[in-house]
A and B are shown apart, each in its own frame.
Chain A
Amino acid sequence: MGKKKAVAEESHSAGGARAINKFRIGDVIMMAVIVILCATCVLPFIHVAAKSVSGTTAVMSKSVYFWPKDLNFDAFKRVFGDSSMTYSMGFSVVVTLIFTLLGMIVCTCAAYPLSKRRLKGRSFITFILMVPMYFGAGLIPTYLLLSNIKLLDTMWVLILPLIYSPYNMLIMKNFFMSTIPDSLEESAFLDGATNFQILRHIILPLSKPIIATLSLFYAVGRWNSYSDNMYYTRDAKLKMIQFKLYQLVASASEAQTASLADTGGVAQSAPEVLQAASIMFVTVPIIIIYPFLQKYFVQGTMIGAVKG
């Protein structure tokens, strides 16, 4: 679109040379702004990456910018050698997978029936399922509830309370209502298919894009958040990798070394390099896959914006 406009401008513009000139300056300025903003998104990570594979002395002498000095992988060896780090990573993967699977099931169970206009009691059930989006009970009542049902300090406290998401349900419901023609189902219905069969053999195969998108919403959401990890668990075996990183680095700003030493494993000397390696350990997986995720995220967000 941009290109077409540019061509059109050059042929239609009454301003002649002046307009074209102005146009180019504007273009350069805008590209420069975008490049600078992109740099703020990329350079910090390049810096951390360079630091993570640099020698301790080079980092201590503050001469590492965006290129490693005294290249070595000692810090990474330490991080990978620290069983609590690799454990947390593995635990995060397991929790995220279970969470995503259960989340998609509960989401479909809610969205499919509610996408049927004929369903009796539909608006009431929708209301019941949407209330939690607008009014939460708050931390303490939720905490006591989870304590009463004996979920505190179990893996399930990181999964069950959040698998039902009103927002994701709305997106899926909107998708069903807007993209799958009623006629398709009606004919299946007349052929004697049950609701389950229609869902399995007609709806789900047609919904692959939204299933991919919402699975990623669930997975990335679970992967990145850790406040529940902070509220509801104490057991070191239940630390997801983001929480681990938070404790290791972000919260360690006051007494960096002390706090690092506490955790054993990834500890002692050269905290800066080790911190950088820990950050990279947690960040690289998401950076690698996010160019692929991004497309689905954009789609999902757009569908979410259209109301059913």
Chain B
Amino acid sequence: MDAAQSGAYDAAHRARRGDQARRGAVAEAAPAPHGAYWSTRELVTIGVFATVIKASTIMVAYMGGGMNPVTLAAKNCLYVTLMIVLLHKVPRSWTMPLAVGITAMVSLLIMGSGVLYVPASIAACLLGEGAIRALGGYGRTRNVVLGVLVAEIASKAAGFGLSCLIMREQPGMLATSALFIGIGSTGTFLGAFTGVRFMEELRHAGIISH
């Protein structure tokens, strides 16, 4: 590469760095238009993530036939990872309840899921939201990760409660349910780890700046 070409190359590279900034970092602080709480960009991002969270976790679960312990853990891992990334991309209070609500509605409307899980999962992530606030807000990765974990654990507890109602005649199957919730929880904790790793990677790629 000669000097002129190299100079041009550097210039293009610098411009691209600007483009990366445009792609990623900006959304974090983009103002909400017309006094709305979320900007259009943030709402669209939440919608996209909600779809992907639901569709990809269902796809992973179906790949394993529903009760395969590996895919069960992988499903939870993917869910928590994506949720952590979303909460870094749209670091505003109430983002998690909104995303979980949209995810639950998508799964209800399109992909087939129990109606009663919608209020249960929203209630669970309100607890997660409370945890993030109590820890000091969305500004720190630690708070976000802990908040997502609280929401996930609460959601699993609520799910178990619903299982208790549905299978109340057969306590043996409740034990099975508890076993699989336990397996899924290993994926939840693994997801917290992969979520943090992904955040590092997104920062390295210039997609997220904080």
Whether chain B is bound by chain A comes out as no
B: residues with CB less than 8 A from A are: none
Residues of A within 8 A of B (CB): none
